[in-house]
Each structure stands twice: as C-alpha cells, then as structure tokens.
Structure 1
Amino acid sequence: MTAPAAPDALRGDDGLSRCAWGNTAPDYAEYHDAEWGVPLRGEAALFERLSLEAFQSGLSWLVILRKRPAFRRAFVDFRPERIAEFTDADVERLLTDSGIVRNRAKIRATIANARAVAGLDQPLDELLWSFAPPAAGRARPRTMADVPAVTPESTVMAKALKKRGFVFVGPTTCYALMQATGMVDDHVEGCWRAGVTGR
C-alpha cells in the first residue's frame, strides 16, 4: 500500500494543499481549484470538454488550457449544432489558426462528434452522466499514483460513444473526461478539494 503523501508535498506556494499536479503551474492551480472534478452539465460545456480531451491526446493539458480561449472562438463556443455545419473550407481555415492545435484528424473528429451529437436520441449530458460510477463506497486515492487511467465505466462509455458515431473517444480519454467533469472525484487525500466536489 502506498504511504500517504506528506501534507508539505501537496502544499502550493499559496499555502493550499492540492493534488501535486495542481501546484506545477499557475494555470494548473486555477484549473484544479475551480474546475477539475466539479460536476458539469449542459450540452455545449460537456461537448467542449470532450473535444478538448481529444485535442489533448499526446500533448500536455497545459497546452490545451492556454489555448482554450482560441479553441472557443474557433469552434463557436463548442455549440455542436453550429460545428456540425462546418465544411471542408472550415477545416482548412482552422488549420491556419495558430491559436489552436492544428491537427487535421482532431479537427475532423470534433466536427464528426458534433454531427454524432445531432443524431443522439437523448441529451448528451444525460448520456455521458449515465456512465458515472456511484460515489458511495468509492475509495479516495492516497496519491496520484493510485488514480487509474482507465476504468470499466470509461471503457463502456468509449464503446457506447463509438457505437453512436463518435471518434477520438478511447477509454483513457473518457476517463479523463469523467475526472474533469466531476463524474468521479479523484482529488487525493490531503487535497483541499477532496470531497468538496461531491455530486
């Protein structure tokens, strides 16, 4: 069993104890404190997170955080109904936008996923949240080393999304989405947010 992290190992320069990654950059501290693990609802908000998790694949999340305002401008605030209308000309336009991650496959995936949202027979947030595991009885991680990259729930979510036409939604991406949107609370023991974000 992993020994609990010493409180000093989690303490940021501002005196707050966070998951260790939250103290590695000011952008991370802000994201950790205000967003990560906070329950999120709403089609555009969840579509944004799903899209950004796909764009993050192979990159640092810090890159995505710093480009998020540009992503929101480029993808019309992640409103799926608008993105679903994007054409090949929009793809080419986005590939010239230095404010975002210029990856043709990921841009096309965002458009494909917006079209998949349009074809759903239930609201996107209802679908995504249906895979959230029960919070009761779930052990809090002692350190980030105890946090899984994939869970049975994220695997089932990925399969269900792919069946509905979504792409760039593997089990790891789905679990990162679950963590980011409060479907699971993976704040470690000793973090000030642990248990604060409950559903």
Structure 2
Amino acid sequence: MCEKIRCSWAGDLQIYVEYHDQEWGRPVHEDNKLFEMLILEGMQAGLSWITVLKKRKAFREAFDCFDPVKVSLYDEEKIQELLANEGIIRNRLKVTAAVANGKAFLKVQEKYGSFDKFIWGYVNYT
C-alpha cells in the first residue's frame, strides 16, 4: 500500500491531516460551504488556521450551521451571545463582520443566482 504524500504544513496533528486530505485544495461549489469558509477565514485573520479548525464545531453551532439567512439577521442580543461564547473567537469586529458578510452574501446570491456562480465566474467556472 502506498503512503499518502502530504504537504509539510499538515504535520502529524490529526485535525490538520484530515483538513489536508479531505478539504484543502478541493473546489467547493455549495453556497453554504462557501459561506462557512468566508466566515472562518474572517475569524482566522491574525491567528493561525489551527486555532480556527479546533473551534470549527463550536462555530458551526454558534452560527446556525453557517446559514447566511440566519446570520444576516443577527441583532445586538445575538452578537452579545456570540461574544460570550467561549468556544469561538470572541472578537466584536469579526463577529459583526460575519453578520455584514451574511447580508452581502445574500445580495450576491440574489444578483447572480448563487455565490458559487459569482465566485467561480472569475475563473471561468473551472
């Protein structure tokens, strides 16, 4: 049996190995998955990706499975709830950016039919 070759950054942490083998570098065309990555990448700014990966399950629960409609409707009460959630990255600017990104995401979907069509249009849908 051949041993799988991985990028050196994957190291031997199981969470990184799984991310490398199952997600990294693979095209994504599902809008909710694209929204999840948009939110997580925003949360990662200034931090290591492993920090976000370790909190991913908590993010999924806290942000209603990354449903852009629900996230776009978050009010100050929900933002306060998120800022008190020790399972996620509790940065007000990042949390409010997620809400704003939910609203912008929905506008893109409305205009282009899907976020997938919009984003992949920049590379001729390949």
Structure 1 length-normalised TM: 0.58
Q: Which position in structure 2 is the counterpart of 1:130?
A: 121
Q: Which position in structure 2 is the counterpart of 1:110?
A: 98
Matches of residues 1-199 of structure 1 in structure 2 within 5 Å?
15-120=3-108, 121-122=111-112, 123-132=114-123
Structure 1's consecutive aligned runs of 4 or more residues displaced over 3 angstroms after TM superposition are none
Any idea what SS the aligned residue of 1:119 has? helix
CA distance in 1, matches of 2:58, 2:67: 15
- The answer to which of 119-128 and 48-57 deviates more is 119-128
Any idea what SS the aligned residue of 1:130 has? helix
CA distance in 2, matches of 1:19, 1:131: 27
Which amino acid is the alignment partner of residue 131 of structure 1?
Answer: Y
Any idea what SS the aligned residue of 1:131 has? helix
CA distance in 2, matches of 1:49, 1:118: 15
Cα drift, residue 20 of structure 1:
0.6
- Greater length-normalized contact order (CA 8 Å, ≥ 6 residues apart): 1
CA distance in 1, matches of 2:51, 2:104: 26
Cα drift, residue 57 of structure 1:
0.7
Which amino acid is the alignment partner of residue 58 of structure 1?
Answer: G
CA distance in 1, matches of 2:100, 2:20: 29
Cα drift, residue 131 of structure 1:
2.2
Cα drift, residue 16 of structure 1:
2.5
Question: What is the count of residue pairs matched by the alignment?
Answer: 122
Unaligned runs of 5+ in 1: 1-14, 135-182, 184-198
Structure ID, larger Rg: 1
Give me the CA root mean square deviation. Answer: 1.7
Cα drift, residue 117 of structure 1:
1.6
Unaligned runs of 5+ in 2: none
CA distance in 2, matches of 1:108, 1:93: 12
Between Structure 1 and Structure 2, the one with more helix by share is: 2
* Residues 80-135 of structure 1: per-residue CA shift (max 9 Å, x gap): 01111100111110000000000100000000010112222011111111223x7x
